[in-house]
Amino acid sequence: MMKTMVETGAAASTRLRAADMVYSHAAKAIEIEDIEARVADLERAAELAKSSGR
């Protein structure tokens, strides 16, 4: 997709679609990283609560 996005010989619509896909995948990856960090925080908090007898 990255190659297609910058390929000057490709049609503008094709380059635009490739750029849109790259953007979409990047946004999803950022969301997933955020969710993973939140889950890890929750798991640590649950472990601490469990070990402290709460």
Q: What is the pLDDT of residue 52?
A: 85
24-47: pLDDT as tens digits? 999 999 999 999 999 999 999 999
Distances (CA, A) of 29 to 25, 34, 52: 6, 9, 35
DSSP state of 10: S
Note if the pTM is more than 0.85.
no
Q: What is the pLDDT of residue 9?
A: 95
31: containing domain: 2-51
Domain count, the chain: 1
Q: Are 46 and 33 in contact (CB under 8 A)?
A: no
Identify the residue whose tokens are 């000057």: 8
